Amino acid sequence: MIAGSEWRAFSKAPAVLMKYRDIEEVWTAVDRYISDLLVPSDEALDAALHSSAEAGMPAIAVSPSQGKFLMFLAQTLGARKILEIGTLGGYSAIWLARGLADGGRLITLEADAKHAKVARSNIARAGLAHVVDVRLGRALDTLPQLESDEPFDLIFIDADKPSYPEYLEWAIRLSRGGSLIVADNVVRNGAVIDKASSDPNVQGVRRFNDLLAAETRVTATAMQTVGSKGYDGFAIARRL
């Protein structure tokens, strides 16, 4: 962790000369500065992270600043229906559900029974059980059941990366003109530009990005992100 005085000396080094590890420390410290200042936590969000850690789940929820960003997207869209693919402990679901318009609903899909159980309890603690539906099952099995719920105003894709190409097809099918489709983890520490990567997660994300580019029903961009989640990015597509 880099303190203010250390940073003054540290920052004189050109970024290219910094060790990657050091740069990550700066991103994390600045992310903490931003979230301490602008994204105060609360009991429900803290408890969602703590209970997930206690249950032995990976610490891969979106960061606080990213969670608030997702809430803003929902609010700005006036979202009444949100779909999330990949619930984990419900941290991003709580942020998204807080952005729902009155009477709105969030459906979130999760393959792991333990994750779904922890998420349901976290969502209930956040007072959102009546607006959030955690559906247990592999997303490719549960997505076809959503055709009567469409169209979703906002879709957040954040489950297994090799299935991202198929999730994009479903997201388009389940959305309407003006809907936003957001996908997490599309930069993968920069590995996304490695065509020859043997990592199926990288190949899944690359295929997803290629499909986004070729898809005439959406227009898309992607934003690199750094911070407490390392170096990654969000793809954001608008349904035409």
- Site of interaction with ligand DHB (CB under 6 A): 60, 158, 184-185
- Among residues 110 and 158, whose Cβ is nearest to ligand DHB? 158
- Among residues 35 and 87, whose Cβ is nearest to ligand SAH? 87
- Backbone dihedral angles phi then psi of residue 95, each to the nearest 5 degrees: -60, -50
- Among residues 26 and 163, whose Cβ is nearest to ligand SAH? 163
Q: How far is the CB of 107 from ligand SAH (least distance, A)?
A: 12
Strand partners, 224: 233
- Among residues 153 and 184, whose Cβ is nearest to ligand DHB? 184
Q: How far is the CB of 86 from Mg ion (least distance, A)?
A: 7
Binding site partner of 138, from Mg ion, ligand DHB, ligand SAH, none, Cβ cut-off 5-8 A by kind: ligand SAH
Binding site partner of 111, from ligand SAH, Mg ion, ligand DHB, none, Cβ cut-off 5-8 A by kind: ligand SAH
- Specify whether the CB–CB gap between 185 and 156 falls below 8 A: no
Contacting residues toward Mg ion, per CB under 5 A: 158, 184-185
Q: How far is the CB of 12 from Mg ion (least distance, A)?
A: 34
Closest CA to 77 of 156, 176, 154, 181: 154
Residue 212 to residues 161, 163, 173, 177, 181, Cα–Cα distance (Å): 15, 14, 14, 16, 10
Taking CB atoms, the residue at the shortest distance from ligand DHB is 60
- Among residues 84 and 158, whose Cβ is nearest to Mg ion? 158
Contacting residues toward ligand SAH, per CB under 6 A: 60-62, 86-88, 91-92, 109-112, 115, 138-139, 158-160, 163
- Specify whether the CB–CB gap between 199 and 191 falls below 8 A: yes
Exposure of 3 by Cβ count < 10 A (0-12 exposed, 13-18 middle, 19+ buried)?
A: exposed
CA angle 179, 182, 187 (to 5 degrees): 155
Q: How far is the CB of 33 from ligand DHB (least distance, A)?
A: 21
**Separation CA 166–CA 138 (nearest Å):** 12
